[in-house]
Amino acid sequence: MKFGDNFSSSDSLTRKIWKANIHERLKMHLWRIAFNLLPTKDQLREFSPSSDTCCPLCNVEAESALHFFTQCHIARAIWFGSQWNLRIDKWQIHSPAHLIDLFIDPPSSLLLDEEQKAEFLLYGALTLDMIWKWRNKVLYEKSTPVEGQVIRSLQKLFLEHWRPKVPVISSALTRRCARWCCPNQGMVKLNCDAAVGDLSSCIAIVARDWRGNLVFAISKKVNTNVPVQAEAFAILLAVHIAINFSCCSCIIESDCKVCIEAINSGGNLVPWRLLNFVEFVKYVISGYNHVSFNWVHREANKAAHVLANWSFNQSLFGSFDLGFGPPSFVNVILAEASQSTVFVGVQ
């Protein structure tokens, strides 16, 4: 595969990088890569000719930006392990600028629509950032991250950064607090989250009433190691539970922005990867109008996060309450209930 024969001049590449719809820190990283401004060993060698030039990731080849982002077997495994299954070594990339240009302006042969192009650039930028951080960890902290963990953290990061271009449904229920808030009086709030492992994952649902009291909590093992899928399973379990609470309104909260926005977008502009999930959620809740969905920051989803991680690490799944629950989880419930009572009076 040969890409980008007519790739951008440096001025137009700089403009394209700064116009990209990604975090400023990622833009800066892309720009430093494109213009060979990272302190790689081949650059440092100009100042210190006797210094070691070996790539810290593979310890075989000489280090250069092009080597460890595209040719090093460690980096190749990360690209291939991504949702795009990229064979980056087959791209015949001839310079760091060429590499960045390909992510900003993917070749038409990939047949990406506008949304997929935006996903492709975000995933590329996050991966380049992760490879650089990994390289620095190995070099300065002498610690070797595990490949599977790197790929999973990348997928998780992608979900946190991804902003699908869908209209946001404004609702009195949509409160994007940085910490957990009690639902309105008479309502039940279900927080859900997933802890993702190499072979399987654990999902957890924590339901609380308007006083912050625990109604119930449950964790369950699921057979997936794909973060977005695990998050979707957690939301689906919460939906199945919520439709049984027909006597009161339920709000389902998740920190998976892409899942919640896909459900709330009303069937329009749903990311293609989540179409089946969204269809299924809509099918399950059809006829039940007491269930709504809300995206929250990870910090506001702590109870479900802690329970999913604890269950996953202990391989203990099932239902929990304050008398029979891991102390880390019980502490979050008690702390959030006492915090929230302060706010009940002023809401």
Binding stretches for Zn ion (CB under 5 A): 55, 57-58, 61, 72
- In the complex, least distance from residue 122 CB atom to Zn ion, rounded to whole angstroms: 25
Whose Cβ is closer to Zn ion: residue 139's or residue 178's?
Answer: 139
- In the complex, least distance from residue 197 CB atom to Zn ion, rounded to whole angstroms: 28
Whose Cβ is closer to Zn ion: residue 88's or residue 188's?
Answer: 88
Going from the C-alpha of 310 to that of each of 56, 94, 160, the distances in angstroms are 34, 46, 22
- In the complex, least distance from residue 56 CB atom to Zn ion, rounded to whole angstroms: 8
Is 159 exposed, middle or buried (CB count within 10 Å of its CB: 0-12, 13-18, 19+)? middle
Whose Cβ is closer to Zn ion: residue 134's or residue 162's?
Answer: 134
- In the complex, least distance from residue 42 CB atom to Zn ion, rounded to whole angstroms: 12
Rg of the chain taking only CA atoms, in angstroms: 23
C-alpha to C-alpha distance for 58 and 303, rounded to whole angstroms: 40
C-alpha to C-alpha distance for 347 and 345, rounded to whole angstroms: 6
Alpha helices in the chain (DSSP H): 10-19, 24-34, 41-44, 65-66, 73-81, 96-104, 114-136, 147-161, 227-242, 257-264, 275-285, 302-314, 327-344
- In the complex, least distance from residue 65 CB atom to Zn ion, rounded to whole angstroms: 11
Whose Cβ is closer to Zn ion: residue 77's or residue 215's?
Answer: 77
- In the complex, least distance from residue 262 CB atom to Zn ion, rounded to whole angstroms: 38
Whose Cβ is closer to Zn ion: residue 42's or residue 61's?
Answer: 61
- In the complex, least distance from residue 135 CB atom to Zn ion, rounded to whole angstroms: 9
CB-CB neighbours of 244 under 10 Å = 9
Residue matched to tokens 């239902």: 319
Residue matched to tokens 């953290």: 153
Tokens of 272: 């293609």
Kind of pairing, strands 250-254 and 291-295? parallel
**Residues whose CB is less than 8 angstroms from the CB of residue 229 and which lie 6 or more positions away in sequence, other chains included:** none
- In the complex, least distance from residue 84 CB atom to Zn ion, rounded to whole angstroms: 21
Whose Cβ is closer to Zn ion: residue 55's or residue 206's?
Answer: 55
Whose Cβ is closer to Zn ion: residue 55's or residue 214's?
Answer: 55
Q: Under the phi-then-psi rule, with left for phi > 0, alpha for psi from -120 to 50, and beta for the rest, what region is 236?
A: alpha
Whose Cβ is closer to Zn ion: residue 61's or residue 89's?
Answer: 61
AA letter at 127: T
Going from the C-alpha of 9 to that of each of 15, 34, 92, 101, 113, the distances in angstroms are 10, 11, 18, 10, 24
